[in-house]
Structure 1
């Protein structure tokens, strides 16, 4: 019975030790960086995935309804293929960059200092943190441009959709349905000599009812929302990195002060011990 009681006590201590270890590990997680990383991954995934499919559907819709001669939209096709390749690069880069920023958050969080009592900062670590702040700021400004650019196709598709809706509305006072047209040439998507270049009346209504139009329209909206989420994530990262850089700077000053204080106390103790030795030898 005594052995069983001891075993139960040991098991209880082990459970308590595991619980405390789990609490320390959870306390060391940089939740702000984790949330920003998840938001960044989600935004980039939505922008890249939906944007890639939407561009493909847009080219198909243009070839079938607005530009039936390949030479008229050859330049546009090359640009879209280039943009799709850029999308692959953006997805790969931000996947790696998000992991790096999350690792940097683990390193600089205040909970790390509690777990590692000998936590010290170096000039290199502060320079790396400052570099991440600068790079994240540049990426945030760039993604603001991407967010604005991704809103352009949403605006174009919305104009086309609203024209079809107004044309079908029973409240609309329309004298001739065929006089209502959408000319994509005026947006600079295809050249002015493209054939037919525009859609009118019932043809326009049929285009708006196609799956390609609805797929492209909604995917561009989701891609724009993903770009906006990425901008928010980068702003979040920028605030975190700025706070972490300030923390590293303060920690370095604190360690320098503590080192100086320890040296002064050690010198004072040496002086006192020497004084006592001198007094003892004199007496």
Structure 2
């Protein structure tokens, strides 16, 4: 009986030790950086993947319905191809940057400092943390511009879609459908010399019913939402990196005070 009692006590102590260890491990997780990383990866993946396919569909729509001569939209094609290459670079950069910020979050978490009593900061570490704060702020401002830019094609496609919906509406009393047109030349997408440059009446309705238009329109919406999610993730990163820098700075002052 005594042996059984001792074994039970040992097992309870082991369970208590495991529980305390798990609590410390869970407390050492930088949840803000973790949420921001997941949100950043998801937003960048949506923006890059959907934006790439939507840009390809846009070129197809322009070539088939608005600009029959390749020379008229050659510059636009080059710009879209350049944007697609930029998308590849953005995806790779933010994948690495998110992992680095997550690693920094783990390093500067207060629970990690409690686990490692000899936690010390250096001038190099504080400089790197400050650099992350500055770079994250710059990326946040830049992505605000990307978010605004990604809303432009959504606006253009929405104008087209709403015009087609108005023509199909049973309450609309339209005697001359050919008088309703969408001219993409006025948006500066293609030059004014491009032919036909605009679509009217039933031709416009046929364009709105194509799979390229339907897919590109919804992919641009998802890409815009992905850009918005990335902006939110960078805002969370801003708060997390600023807090991490403050922790390192406070720890360095604490170390200096203990020396004297």
2:166 is aligned to: 166
2:84 is aligned to: 84
CA RMSD in angstroms comes to: 1.5
| TM-score normalised to structure 1 length | 0.88
Q: CA deviation at 1:58?
A: 0.9
| 1:235 lines up with 2:235 in the alignment | yes
Q: CA deviation at 1:78?
A: 1.3
Q: CA deviation at 1:7?
A: 4.6
| 1:118 lines up with 2:113 in the alignment | no
* 1:186-205 alignment runs, 5 A limit: 186-205=186-205
1:150 is aligned to: 150
**Cα offsets for 1:33-74 (capped at 9, x unmatched):** 111111111111111011011111111111111122222222
In structure 1, the gaps of 5 or more residues are 261-283
Q: CA deviation at 1:5?
A: 5.3
Q: CA deviation at 1:10?
A: 3.7
Q: CA deviation at 1:210?
A: 1.3
Name which of structure 1's ranges 239-248 and 99-108 shifts more when overlaid on structure 2.
239-248
CA distance in 2, matches of 1:2, 1:254: 50
Q: CA deviation at 1:108?
A: 1.1
CA distance in 2, matches of 1:213, 1:222: 14
CA distance in 2, matches of 1:11, 1:112: 27
How many residues are treated as equivalent by the alignment?
A: 260
* 1:12-31 alignment runs, 5 A limit: 12-31=12-31
In structure 2, the gaps of 5 or more residues are none
CA distance in 1, matches of 2:184, 2:155: 12
Q: CA deviation at 1:6?
A: 4.7
CA distance in 2, matches of 1:69, 1:115: 68
**Cα offsets for 1:178-201 (capped at 9, x unmatched):** 110111111111122222211100
Q: CA deviation at 1:3?
A: 5.4
2:75 is aligned to: 75
| TM-score normalised to structure 2 length | 0.95
**Cα offsets for 1:120-147 (capped at 9, x unmatched):** 1111111111100110111111111101
